[in-house]
Amino acid sequence: MKRIKAMVCSLLLVGSTSAFAAESPRDYATGMTLETSSSSPWYRVALPREVYQHSAWPDLRDVRVFNQQGERVPFSLISKPTPPVATDSVALRLFPLAASPIAATEASAPQTIRLKAANGVEINLQSDEVKSLGQSYLLTLPESREASLHLTQLRLDWADSNTSWQGKAAIYASRDLSHWQHVQENAPLMDLSRDGDRLKMNTVAAELTLSPKGRRYLLLVLDPQTSMPELKGVTAVAQSPEPVTERIQLPARVAYTTPSEAIWRWDQPQPLSTLSITLMEEGVLPVDIAWRSDEKSAWRPLTKSVLFNVNDQTQEAFPLSEHVVEAIRITTVDAHLPQTLPRVTGAREAKVLVFNAQGKGPYMLAWGNKAAENVALSLNQLIPESLPASKNIDTLPWAQPLEAVKLGGDARLQAVSAGEQQKLWIALAVWAVLIVGVGALLMVAWRIWREARR
Q: What does the pLDDT read at residue 369?
A: 95
Mean per-residue pLDDT over the chain, rounded: 82
The pLDDT tens digits of the residues spanning 182-226 come to 888 878 888 877 666 666 778 888 888 888 888 888 988 888 777
CATH number belonging to domain 88-238: 2.60.120.260
How confident is the model over 47-88, as pLDDT tens digits?
999 999 999 999 999 999 999 999 999 999 998 765 555 567
**Which alpha helices (H) appear in 205-302, and where do they start and end?**
none
Q: Which carries the bigger pLDDT value, residue 23 or residue 8?
A: 23
The pTM of this model reads 0.61
Taking only the tens place, the pLDDT of each residue in 362-409 is 999 999 999 999 999 999 899 988 887 777 888 899 999 999 999 999
CA distance 294 to 58: 12
Per the omega criterion (within 30 degrees of 0), is the bond before 362 cis?
Answer: yes
| Pick among 2.60.40.10, 3.40.50.10860, 2.60.120.260, 1.10.3720.10: CATH of 247-349 | 2.60.120.260
pLDDT of 72: 95
Confidence of residue 20 (pLDDT cuts 50, 70, 90): very low
Of the two residues 19 and 363, the one the predictor is more confident about is 363
Q: Which amino acid is at 328?
A: I
- Distance of alpha carbon 358 from alpha carbon 384, whole angstroms: 16
CA 93 to CA 79: how far, in whole Å? 42
Which range, 90-94, 119-123, 334-338, 343-347, is most confident?
343-347
Sheet holding 399-406, edge to edge: 64-66, 363-367, 30-36, 399-406
Alpha carbon 318 to its chain centroid, in Å, reads 9
- Inter-residue contact 332 to 285 (CB < 8 Å): yes
pLDDT at 416 over 90: no
Does the pLDDT of residue 15 top 50, yes or no? Answer: no
Domain boundaries along the sequence of the chain: 88-238, 247-349
Helix 418-453 to helix 2-19 angle (10° resolution) is: 170
Beta strands 136-140 and 88-102, pairing class: antiparallel
Q: Are the CB atoms for 271 and 324 separated by under 8 Å? A: yes
Under 8 Å between Cβ of 279 and 285: yes
Q: Which amino acid is at 303?
A: T
- First CA to last CA distance, the chain: 27
Q: How far is it, in rounded angstroms, from Cα 420 to Cα 426?
A: 10
Query: What count of other Cβ atoms lies within 10 Å of the Cβ of residue 240?
Result: 11
Torsion sign across C-alpha atoms 377, 52, 319, 208: positive
